[in-house]
Structure formats: C-alpha cells, structure tokens
Structure 1
C-alpha cells in the first residue's frame, strides 16, 4: 500500500477541517493523481535535453534511461502526445516509484528538491480538483464557454506541474479555482499614478482615480493598502482571469507561480495592449480568416506587475444562435475527438489559420487556454476564437512582404527569427493543442494524414510536416531556475518515420 507523503497528509488534514465531505473522494483520487503527474514527468525525462541523462534506449519492455552517474531508470514506452496516465510506476536501479516527487528527490539532480516540492503540490491539488469535480453533474452540451472551462480539471496536459498551486491553501483553492465553480469577490484598489491604455470604463473609476480589479489572493498575500469592495466574477482556466456575468473578462495580476510562471501582468503588456489588439483585428480582417480575436477593451497598471488588470471581450460574443464556444483544452471532454471526421476538420481548421497567419507575420501561442473553437449545432468546428495577445510574436519582415502595415511595437513581441516564430506556433498548436485533443501519436498522425494535402503551401509547411516538432522543455525549465526565457526540445513528428532505438542529447 502507498504511504502518503507529508504534503498529502497535511492536505488531507486541512481538507478534513474545511470540507470533510471531500475527504473520501480526495483519498480515492490520490492514486490517479500520482499516476497523472508521474506520466507527465516520464514524458519529460524521455524527451527533454537533460544533461544528467546520458542516453535513452528503447526496447520491447519499455524505455530505459542511462544516467551519467551510471544508474538506470526504466519505465514504459513514452508516447509524446499521450494524455492518459500510462506511467503508474518507474524503476530506478530496480527500485519502484509510483510518486513523482519521491522519484525526483532520489534522482538527486540540481534543483531537484525544489521541483519535487512542486510535484507534491501538483499531486495533491490535482486530487482535490478531481474530488471536487465529482460532486457536479455533467453540463449540457449547450453550456457556455465558462461551463466548459470549469470542466477542465487536470490542467496542462503535459506539464508535471499541471495543477501546482504553491501558496494556495485548501480553502483558497476551493474558493478560487474554476473547477470548484465558486463566485470570487474581486476587490478594487485605487491607483493615483496609473498607466491606462484603451477605454477604461467609468464604473472602474473614482473621479480621477483608476480602480484596478484585484484578486482576493493577491490582496491577502501580496498587496499593501486598503482594497475596496468590488464585484463577483467566475474564474476561468487561468484562475487569475474571471468572467463577469453578462460582461467582459477581467485578467488580474496574481503573483503566484502556477504551472511554471508567476501570473502577474507586466507593464509592457499594458503599454502594448491597445496597439496589439487593434493590429490583430486589422490582420484577421485583411486575411479573411475563420478566426475572431477577442478585443482588449482596456488595460491599467499602477506601473507595477503586481497591481494591474486587463479587460477583454468574452469569447461567447462570437457564437451565433445554435453555436457554442469551447476552449480547446475542453475538447477532449466533448464528442469531437471520438469522431475521426470531426478531429480531422478541427486539425485542418487550426493548421490553416495558424499557417496563414504565420506566413503573414503573426505567430499565435495557440494552446488550450488561449484558443477556442466555435462548434455548430451538430458539433462540427466552424471558426476559431483567440484571446490573450500578450505572448504572440510579430515579424516586421514578413508583414512588410505581404504589404501589411507594421504596428508601432518594440520589445519581446517583435522578432524576425524564423526559429522563434515557428517554435511559438508549432510548440503550442501541435505539441499542445492538437496533441492533447488527439490524445496519442496514432490519433494525431491519422488526423494529419487526412488533411495534409489541404493545407496552404506556405514556406513553413515543410518544417511542420517533415522536421521534429518543437515544444517547451517544461521540466528542464523548472530545473534551471537561473536560466531566463524558454527552453526547448524536439518531439518526433507523427508523420515521420520512427528513428533509431537509441537517442542521445
């Protein structure tokens, strides 16, 4: 029998105090949560360029990692696009491990202990998410995008920190996390010296002062000063972005490390918000794509990343009668992945839009949170909706070649580097969106084979179809806290012939 880790026991004790009715479902969910996080970690160990892994050997009985210190780590074959919890146990020099945090501790690599703590947190938070979700019934197929977002329980499909929420107590997770379906009371903090772009509404002003919506976790743990009573809103997948009833979506600053990143809002994002939004509206209209981009209505910052907010259009505004808008992360919960024709239609739609935009000079970060799909009355994908423009990339050279006016932008969003542009789109769209929707290499290959002849013949197409596919090395990034920016690795292309049995980095 598995011996609970200290975080699991502490979490259980706190849960018993605040929601004893969830104690038994939480305990029942722990084994599955361990396997889900361990499977994500095993995928990373199998494919990321980790300096302490000497080589990888694939055999009939699974995958073996030869470590540089001479030890041997063995587990199941690692499908880079699988979303099932297939790694229930791995063995380090013959010793079995079913808990990702204990494995990471005993690997004894640099920064491994800190990462192990995050893995422990990911397991207990995931178990709580699954336990809480079990108390809700199935939503109607006509649910709004918010209803679908609340059903995404497991978080990032490939990140071992899929549900890591360090700094959040059990009570705070129940009060603020979307899968528990709370109403969150946002506060308002007055800001005298405030940067504002776009139209900041009157109901968020107090005379000359701007009132910035503040998440209650941020108010309790980060900010100093009085916070006025605000309004209730419903949290979305990103947790720090919330939907107002019959109103805009509010993106708040949340200075906690969720998954990999601290979720504050940079001054740069506020400075560029209006320009980027207007630019994307013009580009999509010019290219006549089946794509809507939710407009940024206004952005405000007290010239600090921990006190800022952005107002955006809700994606449901782009659904016609009889249609529904579903975040891509929720597509595995619909009937679409089980319908080979629909999965191919979705693949054709997102790749066509992504490739045409990339050719024109815009690389979307089209992962499961940012990208939504409009389904018609029979569940067929017909259009896309994209939200949150803070991390797209814009190529002035490509825009100029297509006669598209270059926006007045500078900083990280602007680049002509081909590798950076392709990584941004392919890493999020194929390694994330399509892989997670298909759920396996075989299903992804089948969908791609059905649409490959229909894709626009852009200069980026051969890289998509013939080369290994880039994806963020998420575990390497957590084990390299002193390295700024993203780290990358490459996944086998589902359309390519499988490589040799031994890989070295």
Structure 2
C-alpha cells in the first residue's frame, strides 16, 4: 500500500526548490523539532481529560497511561510547566515512537487522523523556523516587531505550536515572523455603506465613498480572490496575521487558515464591540495606579464577513518611557532575565497584582504571552504591564456593579458572572500560560509564586489560586473534539499545593 509523503518530506522537497541553501539546516533541526512537539503532546496526554485514557499511573521510572483498549503508553514524568524538550521518545506497548504524528496515528483515537497531520506540519514548520535562525545579538532589539520575531517556537505548550497547514514553504518564508520578512498588505475597496465601522477609520484608508480594508496577501490569494491594491509595507508580529506599520499602528487582519487551534478570521461580533471595549478598557487602566496600560483600538471595519475585516490598534511601544523597552511576555524566554529567581519573582508579583486586581473589579484578561507585554526599565526591571487585544476577555457585570463601575453595553460570550469561568480565563492564560512559560519549569514557577502570594491582597480569587488545581485549556482535547464548540479545560497540579510538579 502506497503511503503518502510526510509533512517533513513535503517541506524538504519544496525547500530543495525554493531555498536549497537551508536544506541541510532543516534536516539537522528535525530531531529537535520532533522532541519539542512530542513534549507538548506528552503534557496533554498526561494531564488532559481525554476520554480514551482510563488511568494514569506514576512510577519510579516515569508515567504509564493505561488506555481503554488495554494498551499501555509509557513516558517520563510529565512536568506540565516545562518548556524544554525533555521527551525524546515514548513507548506504546512494545513499540517506541519519537515522532508525535506517528504516535497519534498509532493511538487510533477518534478524529486523530487530521490532528496527526497537523502535528506533522507543526514539526516540519518548527524545524524550518529554527533552520532560518542566527544567534541573537547581545544588544536587545530597538523596534517592536524585532522582539516579536524572536519567538521562533510558537506556543510553549500547544502541540500545534508551529502548525501552518495551507502555507507552502515559500509562503512561510514570505509571511512567517520568525523569517523576518517585510509583508506587503493589500487593500480591498468596499463601499462604506456596505461595511460596519467602529472607532475612527483613517483617511488614508478611504477612497471617496469606499473603505480600503487591509488584507493579508495569503488571504487575498487563497480566500478572497478579488481585486485589491498593494502598497502597505509591514512587519509581521508573532501572531502572523497582525503586522506593525513602521512608526505607526498595528494592523490585525483576517486570515482564514487554521494556525495552532483556531481559524484566524475576525468576527463581525468583535468588530461591533471593539470601540466600546476600547473605551471601557481605558477607564479600567486608569484605576490601576499606573501598573497597566491597555492599547487603544483606533478603528475597526468589516464588510460583514469574518474573511474581510481589519482592526487598527496602538503599538504597545506608545507606552515606553525614556530608556524603557516594551517586551511581549512570550519573548522574555529569549533573554537572560527569567534565569534570575529574584527577577522572576518581581515579574510574577507585578503580573499577579494587576491580574487579580482587575479580576476583583470584574474583568478577566486573556493574559497569555502574546497579549501581555511587560515594560522593562533600562536595567531590565519589570515596572508595568501593557495589554493588547480585548476580543476574548470576560466581563462580569455583577462584579463591576459591586465596585461602582458603570457596566458597558456588551453582549454575547464576553459577558459572564460565572466565577469558575472568570478564574479559568485569567489563571489559565496568566499563571498556567504567561508565568509558566516564562519560568520554564514547575520548580521555577513554584518558587516565584511562593515568593509573592503571601504579600498579595487577600481575595477569594487569590484563595482559589493558592488552593485549587490550575486550569488550562485542554488544547489537544479541543483539536480531537471538532463537534464540541468553545473552550475545554484541564486541571494541572498546583505548584503551591503539596509537592507540586
């Protein structure tokens, strides 16, 4: 029976055609990329509520998963907060696997075939991303997109950390931030009366009675397939579909491709709420004693289609003072800063102070390493935070009212008074996401949390953070449950409880 070529082989063949000078470097990076993705997958297998895992049995030599069909899967002890690739192979009964895609295929679980293909793409794209890297200069970047483009490995815990199905090798080099290209955005003209616009849409993106909506070139070629003008040179940020205009705002474009977990379009719902949320966010930031800035949404427009929409946001660099740098939290791991327990504790104190205070007021941020940025002083100390992208926060009208804060006119999924939902949103993104990804291990995370939680103002949310399992999105379960809408969750061992990870 003929077996189709793997994603690794497909990328190698394309690379030989378009960038042959990278072929040997790509091949050399493949084992490390497999281990990186396998480590993320093993975390999911060890901790997510997967219905075909009957039991998890820790032992002296590692962890054994007993599957419902009687098979056993054995690997090392799973640190749910580790960001280094420590899983190089696992054993399914008597067969050893070092390739995450082949492992998932062998598991033969429902909906596993498509997810296995995504894992193959993740490995191949990660190896390609690493192959294009040179050593970081000792001097820190001076421009915002240069910080963003240092995040080569993508999501620190998602097995699909670098999955880009639908992107050719040439397109990955042309559009992937880790390859540091300049991307020319298109502009699609749409009659203004056929669009929903919130905020102030700039005059240089208008043509008489038409709006000129910025579009990503991949979207223009593969999805829209309609006339557009070129001419906006921009630098892709770590999300790929959001780009920085030199000296200007950031542009979030629709990109109807599945990257990591989600198709990156822009809903009409989020465009409709963007101006209200932006104004509301400024009133919240004013209550934070200078510890938090929230980037303003300048304007947003949609042709009443998630495939043709754009959002213009302030650059977080607007909030840097003299000698300061604004760094995405995901990029902190590319510096030496997290290696200092004192610095990590200082950053953890700042992040938890801001996150818990906002949660008490009634807003749970989606504070993962892409949305959350830290302002560093000239000496590298964390002094305040910047948050961007309000599309997936949660707002509690009851908590806002309790603190005398006017409730904005919001509807839909963003509004909830459910305390577990609010806490999952913040703790899953900030603690199990940003702080864990920066710490790099359960031991380092535990040390940072222990150093600061006793000094934080006592709230019921802090009590829950200190005593309950840590929530995190069950990213693999979600990819294996295509018929289940919305987020699904896993519970991780709390570093502050018992021995912890």
- Judge conservation of contact 1:139–1:147 (CA < 8 Å) in 2: no
* Residue range with higher mean Cα deviation, 38-47 or 4-13: 4-13
How far the C-alpha of 1:289 sits from its partner, in A, is 4.5
Q: Which residue of 1 aligns with 2:494?
A: 493
Mapped to 1, the partners of 2:25 and 2:5 lie a distance apart of 17
| 1:339 Cα deviation from its structure 2 partner | 1.1
User: Which residue does 1:168 correspond to in 2?
Assistant: 167
* 1:147 Cα deviation from its structure 2 partner: 1.1
User: Relative to 1, partners in 2 of residues 1:90 and 1:315: Cα closer, same or farther, differing over 3 Å?
Assistant: same
The aligned residue for residue 93 of structure 2 is: 93
Q: Which secondary structure does the structure 2 equivalent of 1:286 belong to? A: coil
Quote the residue 2:27 is aligned against. 27
Matches of residues 82-481 of structure 1 in structure 2 within 5 Å? 82-134=82-134, 137-138=136-137, 140-192=139-191, 193-481=194-482
Q: CA deviation at 1:455?
A: 1.3
Match of 1:58 in 2: 58
On the 8 A contact 1:289/1:353 being kept in 2, the answer is no
Preserved contact between residue 186 and residue 216 of structure 1 (Cα < 8 Å): yes
**Structure 1: how far apart are the matches of 2:61 and 2:274?**
51
Contact 2:141–2:147 under 8 Å retained in 1: no
Task: Give the 3 Å change call, closer, same or farther, for CA 190–52 of structure 1 in structure 2.
Answer: same
Q: Deviations over 1:244-288 (max 9, x none)?
A: 000000000000000000000000110000000000101110342
How many angstroms apart in 1 are the aligned matches of 2:289 and 2:379?
24
Which of 220-229 and 322-331 deviates more?
A: 220-229
Larger deviation, residues 490-499 vs 379-388: 490-499
Question: 2: CA distance between counterparts of 1:373 and 1:5?
Answer: 43
Partner residue of 2:9? 9
Conservation of the 8 A alpha-carbon contact between 1:72 and 1:93 = yes
**CA deviation string 1:86-128 (max 9, x = no partner):** 1100000021000000000000000001100000000000000
Shift in Å, 1:498: 4.0
In structure 2, runs of 5+ residues without a counterpart are: none
**Residues paired across the two proteins, number:** 497
Q: In the TM superposition, what whole-angstrom CA distance separates every residue of 1:30-61 from its partner, at most 9, and x where no partner exists?
A: 00000000000000000000110000000010
- Note if contact 2:295-2:386 (Cα within 8 Å) is conserved in structure 1: yes
1:76 — aligned with what? 76
Contact kept in structure 1, 2:442 and 2:500, CA below 8 Å = no
Give how far 1:137 is off.
4.5
Deviations 1:4-49 (A, max 9, x none): 9622111101011111111111001000000000000000000000
Distance in 1 of aligned mates of 2:125 and 2:384: 34
Question: Aligned partners of 2:305 and 2:325: how far apart in 1?
Answer: 37
**Aligned residues of 1:191 and 1:212 also touching (Cα < 8 A):** yes
Alignment check: 8 A CA contact 1:144 1:325 kept: no
Report the equivalent of 1:503: none
Q: Matched residues in 2 for 1:49 and 1:354: separation? A: 27
Distance change (3 Å), C-alpha of 1:5 and 1:382: farther
**Unaligned regions of 5+ residues in structure 1, if any?**
501-505
State how far apart, in whole Å, the 2-side matches of 1:355 and 1:340 are. 22
C-alpha separation in 1, matches of 2:435 and 2:4: 35
State the SS of the aligned residue for 1:471: strand
Residues 6 and 120, structure 2, Cα contact 8 Å, conserved in 1: no
Preserved contact between residue 492 and residue 498 of structure 1 (Cα < 8 Å): no
Q: State the alpha-carbon separation in 2 of the partners of residues 205 and 424 from structure 1.
A: 37
Distance 1:116 1:367 in 2: 25
Query: Deviation per CA, 1:134-193, whole angstroms, max 9, x where unpaired?
Result: 3x6526225333211111000000000000001000000000010100000000001111
SS at match of 1:148: helix
CA drift at 1:77? 0.5
CA distance in 1, matches of 2:285, 2:458: 19
Deviates more, 1:287-296 or 1:434-443: 287-296
TM-score (norm: length of structure 2): 0.98
TM-score (normalizing by structure 1): 0.97
- SS of residue matched to 2:286: helix
Question: Aligned with 1:255: secondary structure?
Answer: strand
